[in-house]
Amino acid sequence: MSNQIEVRPNRKLHARDFMIYGHFIEHFHRQIYGGIYEPGHALADRDGFRTDVMEALKRIHVPVMRWPGGCFVSNYHWMDGVGENRIPFFDKAWRVEESNQFGTDEFISYSKKIGAEPYICTNAGSGTAEEMSDWVEYCNLTVDGKWAKKRIENGYANPYNVRFWSIGNENYGDWEMGAKDLKEWGRYVKESAKMMKRVDPNIELFAASIADLDWNINLLREAGKYLDWISIHGYWDTLNEKNDLADFETCMAYTLAIEPEIVKTKHILGALGYLDKIKISFDEWNLRGWHHPNVDSKPEDYLTPRDKNDWNDSYTMADAIFSACFLNQCLKHGDSVKMANFSPTVNTRGMIYTHADGIVLRSTFYVFELYTNYMEDEVIDSWADIDSTFDVWLDGKKITIPAIDMIATRSSKNGQLAISLINRDPDNSHSITLKGTEQKHGKLYSILSDSKDAYNDVKNPDRIKLKEETLEFNGETIRFDIPPHSVHVLKL
């Protein structure tokens, strides 16, 4: 079949924001404790941070880290997690005791060590506008105020200058502590934003949102003039109660459901007059939702089932391909989507798994390594005429899926091209014909495996990894084959 791609290197569509390669960490199961933070471990530094995890994160140049939640934040009071006398509390979101050993100061320190900008999500569940603004004071004011002085007293003389702040997390959902209705939310965000920006007018404010017109009409009419971002979330393989993971083919169907959420949000912003003012942050996303059954019921054991999140055989080439398709959509809509945060970074459904002797880099890690190191900073005009397709049945309906997904980028510094090429097809290679560039050779960086269901684990950590090869071309048209279930970046 004919799969033709044409690029127009001299036609820039928009700039890519590197923040789309961001990450998220929450106080859930082993993400913080036993994940990024494990004092006393042989691989931990003097501050308790796992050095093997930090080195892996530096490899993918994490631009921004969102914390502390997630559902956790909606009953989190930050003041109990700073200073020498940490006050533990019972976390009502996940029904465990939180030690508060890892708090604001540790998060800022960790962000600096991995070279990421800190992004703090505030408690809009049981919290107050004053509590949020006090948090801004603690982090950003030099000496003025009770909380800036408290930071200095805690041993941190210089302000942290945290730029990104979110009001709330999923407060539209009844699963969230302190969920709000439409009218409550707009007013609550407005009053919180006023206080936070009075403390530091330079911060950028996010508000928890959803691709829903009614929710955003109330939010933006009340608080739109104070906001710089709206925050949306997405998990496509919902696994809260049952850990029945979707198969490869179903996950490929889910890749077609990414773009509609972005487009709908853009249309809502445009309809309300905020398209050029308020940016979209897809600040929690992953193919697979977290498994946490029985959190609202009374079984004797609701914690042990969460260990299933850490089964490495769950994270196959399906996860890698979905993640690459997601990033392609962020690039395609980079005029509005300026940040995205993979959820989570470590353990649970994360791209890194920690164990006593080291780490496993799951398939999704290599997607970030591929995109952060080899894709370029300008999205250019391209089109694809894809004849190769395959069919998937989902909820009783046949869905025809294009085998190839692609997007083209260009370096603003030297004009070098980088084209993402993804083969969703589980079983078949497909030939690509590329027009619009005259090249004699190129580099192809690929995520490959011997099976669509391949995964990395402690015993076999390199079954999926990043590979490099040089391609030789002849003439104006470039032709080559893309193997099944694979992700690539072609550098020209």
Active site residues: 170, 284
CB atoms closer than 10 angstroms to residue 459: 8
**Residues with Cβ within 8 Å of residue 372, at least 6 apart in sequence:** 18, 21, 60, 61
Specify the pairing of strand 397-402 against strand 404-410.
unpaired
**Cα torsion at 153, 158, 159, 163 (round to 10°)?**
-150
Tokens of 270: 């445009």
Interatomic CA distance for residues 89 and 99, integer angstroms: 7
Interatomic CA distance for residues 373 and 359, integer angstroms: 21
CB atoms closer than 10 angstroms to residue 338: 20
User: 3-state secondary structure string, 417-467?
Assistant: EEEEEEECCCCCCEEEEEECCCCCEEEEEEEECCCCCCCCCCCCCCCCEEE
Q: Judge whether 361 and 437 are in contact, CB under 8 Å.
A: no
| Residue 144 DSSP class | -
User: Shortest CA distance to 490 belongs to which of 463, 464, 468?
Assistant: 468
Q: How far is CA 433 from CA 390, 399, 415, 425, 430, in A?
A: 19, 25, 21, 17, 10
C-alpha count within 13 angstroms, C-beta hemisphere, residue 78: 28
